[in-house]
Amino acid sequence: MLLYISRQNDFYMNLIVDVGNSLVKIAVFQRYKHLKTFWASLEEFPKKFQEIKKEYPEIRFSILASVVKDTFHIEKVLKNETQLFVLDEKIDLPFTNKYATPNTLGKDRIALVAAGAKQFKENNLLVIDAGTCITFDFKNDQNEYLGGAISPGIEMRFKALHNFTDNLPFVEFVGEAHLIGDSTHSSILSGVVNGVVAEIDGLVDRYKTENKYLTVILTGGNAQFLLKRVKNSIFANPNFLLEGLNYILESNKTQ
């Protein structure tokens, strides 16, 4: 009987729902195979869900991770239509969490470490997420998450230079950043972009010095841009967070 249920679960699909401050990222997986990704606003989610369910009627399980507290309307839809798991402090994680304040650990960081635990369980692993913030998360070869670092992201640095000074303009994150800026605009571009690149390279070097056989993963919205500029050997995976959420879901639905 258990074998029959397991085979049925292999057929059913997972819906991964990652709620940001303004947008919802939605992905469909069949077990560990990523099939498709969708985007929607918070208000559009119920309608988008029905469109996705029509395309993938085999969706049976879901997991919700959110940085927004008020997700009642999203949870209601998912509870009515799927077996819902919520990423919170009660859910089982596929790694040992040694973070000193686990209740403050961001759900995005938890998902990234979970993806690392699946793919690199016995490796020292550093996951760098280059998004709104730049996060560095370290998991050792004993599958223990120890923590990392949080730094302002590229866009946040441009905004900070403009918002916290009287005379510096806001610079759009476009084009190449030369080492020597010959105007205020190009100097800001150089300082922010080259500063982030130097920060990543410097921290990766330190982690490699202190941890042998280190694997480094770069993900997030600015990953492809930075990948071409950092000197260290880094693997890029734009779907690492979604894969981590899916792995947490798979681990919990078989408990």
- Residue 94 is predicted with a pLDDT of 94
24 marked among binding-site residues = yes
**Residue 171: predicted pLDDT:** 95
Q: Are 59 and 28 in contact (CB under 8 A)?
A: yes
Last residue of a domain, one of 36, 57, 86: 86
Q: E strands within 99-225?
A: 124-130, 133-139, 144-152, 214-219
**Beta strands at 83-86 and 96-97: parallel, antiparallel or unpaired:** unpaired
One domain for residues 200 and 159: yes
Residues 49 and 152 in one domain: no
Residue 36 and residue 128 in one domain = no
Q: How far is CA 217 from CA 72, 165, 177, 200, 239, in A?
A: 33, 35, 23, 12, 11
Q: What is the mean pLDDT of each run of 10 residues along the chain (255 residues)?
A: 46 92 92 95 94 96 90 93 92 95 92 95 95 95 97 96 96 88 96 96 96 94 91 88 96 78
Question: Based on the domain organization, do 71 and 117 belong to the same domain?
Answer: no
Annotated active-site residue in 92, 108, 166, 182:
108
Q: What is the pLDDT of residue 71?
A: 87
Q: Is residue 255 part of a domain?
A: no
Instruction: Check whether 22 is labelled as a binding-site residue.
Output: yes
Give the residue among 197, 238, 18, 237 at the shortest CA–CA distance from 106: 18
Phi and psi angles of residue 126, each rounded to the nearest 5 degrees, phi first? -120, 120
pLDDT at 67: 84
Distance CA(21)–CA(7), nearest Å, equals: 37
Based on the structure, what is the number of domains in the chain? Answer: 2
pLDDT at 16: 98
Confidence at residue 69, expressed as pLDDT on a 0 to 100 scale: 81
109 is known to lie in a ligand binding site = yes
Within-domain flag for 91: no
CATH number of the domain bearing residue 28: 3.30.420.40
Which domain does 71 fall in, by range? 2-86
From start to end of 23-80, where are the E strands? 23-30, 33-41, 59-66
**What is the distance between the alpha carbons of residues 90 and 70, in angstroms, rounded to a whole number?**
19
Cα 112 to Cα 167, 169, 171, 240: the distances in Å are 39, 35, 30, 6
> Are residues 122 and 72 both part of a single domain?
no
- Using alpha carbons, select from 107, 51, 94 the residue that is nearest to residue 249: 94
Does residue 250 form part of some domain?
Answer: no
Angstrom CA distances, 236 to 33, 61, 123, 249, stand at 18, 28, 17, 23
Predicted local distance difference test score (pLDDT) of residue 39: 95
- Lookup: tokens for 164: 């916290």
Q: What is the pLDDT of residue 20?
A: 85
d(CA 180, CA 182) in angstroms, rounded, equals 6
108: annotated active-site residue: yes
| Residue 47 annotated as part of some ligand binding site | no
